[in-house]
Structure 1
Amino acid sequence: MSKKISAESIKELRSKTGAGMMDCKKALEATEGKVDLAIENLRKKGLASANKKSSRIATEGIIESYIHAGSRLGVMVELNCETDFVARQSEFHKLAKNIAMQLAACQFVQYIAVDEVPEEFIVKEIEIEMAKEDLLKKPINVKKQIVEGRIQKRLKEISLMSQSFIKNPEISIEDLVKQHIALLGENIKVRRFQRFILGEGLEKKSYDFTQEVSNMIYNK
């Protein structure tokens, strides 16, 4: 005899995953009411359905912005979906805002995904790593393995989709996007972003306070 699933358990699972009521009920029935296992099952199903949708064209969406406290740092991000209907959904807007905040927090991120990093950047990083002193005396095969590991780590550091989500480090930004693909039923893509840092690129004039005081005295 299967365990009776309470409405409270279904509501709890739905609030944690965003999945439909019937999907939550089935997931809880399959795991005998164990919420953690049900979440895992729904996530697996969600990610699988998200992967199927990832090749579909996404040309609708929104441009979201985030200005950090103090107004010295700002981010704009374009998040695409398939229809204007999804583009108007609060969950989609929340996702865009969270991604913009993530980009503000991770200022070393330069690209959306690892596969978008230019080949010339990778070649240059390999040259730098191969020339490091701690590898000079190592056998070439060992050296190449170490460099490969360092390069992969470096590529993930500069790629948005590889970052741990600042509000839930247990998932990556890629996982977060896929969860919303499963939730909203459409392909979702981060197309581009721009980060603005106040005064970046400007030559800042530096003042010699002592010299300024001297000039004031002797020029009277």
Structure 2
Amino acid sequence: MSISAQDVKELRDATGVGMMDCKKALEEADGDFDEAIELLRKKGQKVAAKRADREAEKGLVVTAISDDDSTGAIVEVNCETDFVARNDDFASFADRVATLVLNEQPADLDALHALDYNGERTVQEELVRMTGRIGEKLDIRRFDVLEATNDGSVVSYIHPGSKLGVLVSVTGDDEQAQLDVAMQIAALNPVAVSRDEVPESVQEKEKEIAREAAVSEGKPEHVIDNIVNGKLNRYFQDNVLLEQDFVKDASTSVQEMLDDADVSVHQFVRYALGN
């Protein structure tokens, strides 16, 4: 039967699939619109399965913040190429997923995949549909939700390119200091806010490394403990947020910068694409 250009356009508008694929689906379905949609869905599922073993290491890190700044969500959504990562539809999907995470706060990825996406399909079904349309493996790799502490707020920072993102729970009203500390976290990747939060196992490992190095260098036994403690303090200065040198002014620490601005940091989440 003859398939009109209007029929093809309507199917494309409904599914987002390319014009030629829509025309082929309508021809195969003898013009039945619903059957054509089902055929395209099946094609998407086949494409998703076919590409399941492919590596999806590109993509976007995106955030969403509640209207009252009390809660933030961060999500990593992956694809196979930077070309797709720059695609507006892919970016819109990532933003929509971040908003869903913010609003619904699913318990895990399975719960996220089962959420309603647009009233017609779930997040998982939308992933399959987009995989069929775009032709690349797509994946939601991880997400986190961060809530404000002590009547504070959650601040978001996305580095240009959307491959690195940060959420920070803060109290205090100095917006520049809030942004500065978020950028500090993005740039220097601290392991904790304060040294008290560094796991004991990590501290013991650093001390073991320092001790073995001192012994191998032939340092006298009576100075080794001092060397080990000094190395551990250096580790804290390099890796604990409040003790790091402030990236904008290495003559001051992050703690001193925050004290001057009357801002406190309570928690943070940092996502780097692929890490």
CA distance in 1, matches of 2:107, 2:86: 28
- AA of the residue aligned to 1:161: H
Q: 1:164 aligns with which of 116, 122, 132?
A: 116
State the partner residue of 1:191. 141
Q: 1:58 aligns with which of 56, 59, 63?
A: 56
CA distance in 2, matches of 1:34, 1:201: 56
- AA of the residue aligned to 2:114: S
- AA of the residue aligned to 2:95: K
**Greater RCO, 1 or 2 (C-alpha within 8 Å, sep 6+):** 1
TM-score (norm 2): 0.52
State the partner residue of 2:17. 19
Determine if contact 1:66/1:76 at 8 Å carries over to the other structure: yes
TM-score (norm 1): 0.64
Q: 2:6 aligns with which of 5, 8, 18?
A: 8
Determine if contact 1:112/1:160 at 8 Å carries over to the other structure: yes
* 2:35 is the alignment partner of 1:85: no
- 5 Å-filtered alignment, 1:193-208, equals 193-199=143-149
- Which sections of structure 1, spanning at least 5 residues, go unmatched? 114-158, 203-220
CA RMSD of aligned residues (A): 1.9
- Which sections of structure 2, spanning at least 5 residues, go unmatched? 153-275
- AA of the residue aligned to 2:137: N
After the TM superposition, which segments of 4 or more aligned residues of structure 1 sit over 3 Å from their partners?
none
CA distance in 2, matches of 1:198, 1:62: 24
* Pairwise CA distance, 1:161: 1.3
Q: Percent identity?
A: 38
Q: 1:41 to 1:163 in 2, by over 3 A?
A: same
CA distance in 2, matches of 1:27, 1:189: 26
* Pairwise CA distance, 1:98: 1.1
Which digits, 9 at most, give the CA deviation of each residue in 1:11-69, with x for residues without a partner? 11111112121111111122232222211111111111111112211111110111222
* Pairwise CA distance, 1:200: 7.5
CA distance in 2, matches of 1:54, 1:99: 21
Determine if contact 2:41/2:128 at 8 Å carries over to the other structure: no
Which digits, 9 at most, give the CA deviation of each residue in 1:53-105, with x for residues without a partner? 12211111110111222222221101111111111000110110111111112
